[in-house]
Amino acid sequence: MTIGVKRMVGQVGVSLLAGVFLSGPGSAQARVFEEPVVPAPAIAAPSITDPAKVAPRQYWTELALKGNARAQFTLGQMYEFGDHAPHDEAEATRWYRLAADQGYADAELRLALRYANGRGVAQDSGEAVKWLTAAAQRSHPIAQNTLGLVYDRGLLATRDEVTAARWFRAAAELGYAHAQENLGLYLRDGRGGVQNLTEAVQWLERAATQGMATAQFELARMYEEGLGVPRDDQEAARRYETLAQQGNVAALRRLARLYADGRGGSQDRALMFYRRLAERGDAPAQHELANRLADETSIAPDAVEAAMWYQRAADQGLAAAQYALGGLYEDGRGVRKDEQVAVRWYRAAAEQGHASAQFALGLMLVDGRGVPADETAAVEWFRRAAKRGLPEAQFSLGWRYVSGTRSLPKDLPEGLRWARRAALQAHLHAQFNLGLLLSPSPETAREGLEWFTRAAAQGHSSAQYSLGVAYSQGTFAPKDDAEAFRWYQRAAESGDVGSQFNLASMYRDGLGTKRDLGAAIAWFTKASERGDSRAYLSLGLLTETGNGFPKSDAEAARWYAKAAEAGNPTGQLKLGHMYAVGQGVSRDLAQAFRWYEKAAQQGVAEAQYRLGALYYYGESVPTDFQNAMRWFLAAAAQGHAAAQGTVASMYLTGVGVAQDYVEGLSWSLRAAESGNTTAQYNMGYVYYRGEGVARDVVEAAKWFQRAAAGNNAKAQFNLGYMYEKGEGVSPSDTEALKLYLAAAEANEPRAIIRLIRAYQGGELGLGPDAERLSYWMQKARAAGIAR
C-alpha cells in the first residue's frame, strides 16, 4: 500500500523551492514543476496481521521501527500531508531523515526540500544541497533535475551552469522528461559552455513525446525561426495548434501571430484565433486583434472594432493597449476625437512605464492639447521615456538641451549626450541633426561626417544630399567628385529634388562621372517635374544653346518663363533679356522691365544695371535719371563694372545726381580696376584734361592704354593722338598710325578723319595712296562723317 502518492504530485516545490522551480532554464514559458514519486520496490510481506485490516499508520510504524527504509519514508509522507496521521512537520522530518540515513533516495530528496524551505527544520542551504546531491548520486532523476535547477538559478548554491548541465544530462539520460526539456534548452541557448542545436532538437523532441508542453512550444519556435532545423512554418503551426487545442494560450497567441504574418496559414485564421482569445478576455490577444483591425493595410480594417478591443485590454490595465487607445482618441480614428481622453489613456500607460506613452504624453503637454501646456512636466516625461531607451524621447530631450527652452537651460554637452544615445539606436533624425550640428566646426567635423554617413546609409535622403554637397565642395569631407556623385545619385533616386538637380549638373559638366547630356537632361527634367526653378533655368540654357536639344529660342523662353514665375532670379533676368531683344518672344520692353525689376529686387546685379538703363534711356518707362542712378548704384555696389562706369559718368556729368568729381573719379577708378573699358577711358580723359584731378598726361596715357587694349575705339584714338604728339609717351608715328587704324575700323569718326588727312598730306609716314584714301573717304560718307 502506498500512501500520499497522488497528493505529492505538484506539491513538492513549496515555499523557497516553489519559487525556483516554476520554469525551466532559459524558458519564457511558466510551467508547474511536477515530481512524481518513484514507485517503491515490492517487499516481502511481514509476518504480522494483513495490513489491509490494520490501521495504516500502525502497519507502517511497525515496519519502520524495524528499520524498513520504505516504511520510514511512507510515514514521513503521512505526517507531512496529514494522511492517516496528524499533520506534524517535525515528525515527518524525523522519519524522512531515518530513511535518508539508510540511503533511500526518495527520502533524501524530501529531506533536501525540507531544508531548502525550512519546513520541520531550520532552513539550511548547505544541508539541502548535501541531501539533493546524495539522492542525485543514487541516479534519482528528480533529484538530478532539481539539483540542475539549483545550480542554474544560483539558489542554495553558487550559480554554475556547467554543473547544472551535467545534472540535467544525467536525469535526461534516465528518461526524465523535465530534464530532457531543460537539457534541450541549455543546448539550444549555449548555456553550460556548449551549444549544439542538433542535439537540442533531439532532447526537446524526447521531452515533447512525453507530453512536455514547453518542449513542444520551444520546438515550434525553432521550426518557426529555422533554429537547428530547416525553417518550416507548416511544422511550427502544427505544433502550436496541437498545444492550442490543449488550451495553451501562449501557443495560440504564437499561432495567431504566425498566421497574421502570412506564414503557415491564412491571415483570416489569425484573426479567428486572436478573436477566440480576445473573447475569453485575454488582454494581450485583445491588443493584438485590435492592432490587426487598426492596420489600414490589413485584410479587414475596422477602426471602430479596434477601439473596442483596445478599450477592453486597456480596462484590464494593459499599458500597450492604453497607449494605442490614446492614439485613437488623439487622431479621432474609430472614436470621436477627444484629446482629453487621449491624455488620460497616455497617462495611464505612462505611469506603468510605457516609454512611447510617456513620450506621447510629453508631446501633448508641450502643445497644450487635451491638457494645459506644461513644458516642465513635458520634459520630465521625455526624460523618463529617454531613460527607458526610447530614441524619439532621447532625441527630443537632447534637442531641447541643445536649443534651450523656457524650462530647460541650454546645455550643449547634455544635449549631445542624449542625441548621441538616440543616434546610436539608428534614430535617423538624431543622426542627421547631429551631422548638421557638428559638421561646421573643424573640431567636430569628422564626427558630423560620420553621423551624416550613418543616416545616409539608412536611406535618409537629406543626409545623402548633405554628403553630396560636402564631397562636392570639400567642406567637412575631402573633395571627391566621384563620392559626391554617388551620394547625389542615391538621394536623387529617392526623390530628393536638390540631389536630382545636382546630379544632372554633374552629368552635364562631367564631374565625378563621364559627361552624359542625355542623363543630365533626364535628371533636370525629373527635378523640373518637382518644380525646381534651377532645373527650369538649366533646361532653358541647354535649349537656347542647342546643347543636347535642338536649338530653340522659343522653347528656351518657355523654360525661362517657368523659372521666372517660380521666382528664380536668373530666370527672371534671362526672360527679361529675351523680351528686351525679342529673342524667342515678341520684343516687349514693358515685359522686359517687369522681369528685370523682379530680378533686380532679388539682388541680381546685371538686372539692376539693365533696369537702370531702361530708366536712363526712357524705354518702356518715362526717363528717370534718379531711379536710373538708384539701380546703377545697387549694381555698382556689387562690383558690376559697367554699372560702376555709368555711375562714375553720371557723377562726373551731374546727370541724375549733383555733379561730384571726387565721387565720380572714385567710381570710375573702381570700374576701371574691374576692367570696364569705358571707365578706363574716362580715367584717361580726366587725367588728360585735369578735370577734378591734377593734369597728368602720363597717367592719362596709362589708362588710355588699358582701354585701348580692350578695343575701346575712343581710347585708341586718344592714345594714337598722344603718340603722334609725344604727350605722356615717346612720340611714334608708327604707334599712332596703328591705333588710328584700329579706331577707324571700329568707326571712330575722329580716327577716320585723321587718316584721310594723313593720306592727303602725306603725314604719319604715309605716302600717296589713292586707293586707301578712297576707301576711307567712302567709309566717312557711309558713316555720315563731315570733315
Task: Write out pLDDT tens, residues 457-467.
Answer: 999 999 999 99
- Pairwise CA distance, residues 34 & 318, whole Å: 31
Which of 30-34, 53-57, 69-73 tops mean pLDDT?
69-73
The pLDDT assigned to 195 comes to: 94
Within a domain: residue 62?
yes
- Pairwise CA distance, residues 400 & 392, whole Å: 12
Give pTM, 2 decimals. Answer: 0.70
pLDDT of 594 strictly over 50: yes
DSSP states of 188-247: HHTGGG---HHHHHHHHHHHHHTT-HHHHHHHHHHHHHTSSS---HHHHHHHHHHHHHTT
> CA 228, 231, 236, 239 torsion: positive or negative?
negative
Q: What is the CATH number of the domain that holds 16?
A: 1.25.40.10
Q: Which amino acid is at 569?
A: P
pLDDT digits (tens, 9 = 90+) for 372-413: 999 999 999 999 999 999 999 999 999 999 999 988 999 999
Q: Which amino acid is at 230?
A: P
Query: Any idea what the Cα angle at residue 52 is, between residues 49 and 57, rounded to 5°?
Result: 85
Q: What average pLDDT does this structure show over 745-759?
A: 93
The pLDDT assigned to 214 comes to: 96
Higher pLDDT, 358 or 33: 358
DSSP states of 74-88: HHHHHHHHTSSS---
Within a domain: residue 66?
yes
Within a domain: residue 484?
no
pLDDT digits (tens, 9 = 90+) for 114-152: 999 999 999 999 999 999 999 999 999 999 999 999 999
Within a domain: residue 412?
no
- Pairwise CA distance, residues 121 & 130, whole Å: 15
The pLDDT assigned to 787 comes to: 60
Closest CA to 451 of 463, 440, 442: 463
pLDDT band at 10 (very low <50, low <70, confident <90, very high): very low
> Residues near 694 by Cβ (< 8 Å), separated by ≥ 6?
none
Within a domain: residue 214?
no
Total structural domains within the chain: 1
Within a domain: residue 5?
yes
Within a domain: residue 196?
no
> Residues near 493 by Cβ (< 8 Å), separated by ≥ 6?
none
Return the C-alpha cell found at 55: 490501521
Q: Is 784 helix (H, G, I), strand (E, B) or coil?
A: coil
The pLDDT assigned to 50 comes to: 55
Share of the chain above pLDDT 70, in %: 93
Return the C-alpha cell found at 70: 520504505
The pLDDT assigned to 556 comes to: 98
pLDDT of 762 strictly over 90: no
pLDDT digits (tens, 9 = 90+) for 172-212: 999 999 999 999 999 999 999 999 999 999 999 999 999 99
Within a domain: residue 80?
yes
Higher pLDDT, 781 or 504: 504
pLDDT of 19 strictly over 70: no
Structural domain that includes position 101: 1-35+54-138
> Residues near 761 by Cβ (< 8 Å), separated by ≥ 6?
none
φ/ψ of 65, rounded to 5, equals -65, -20
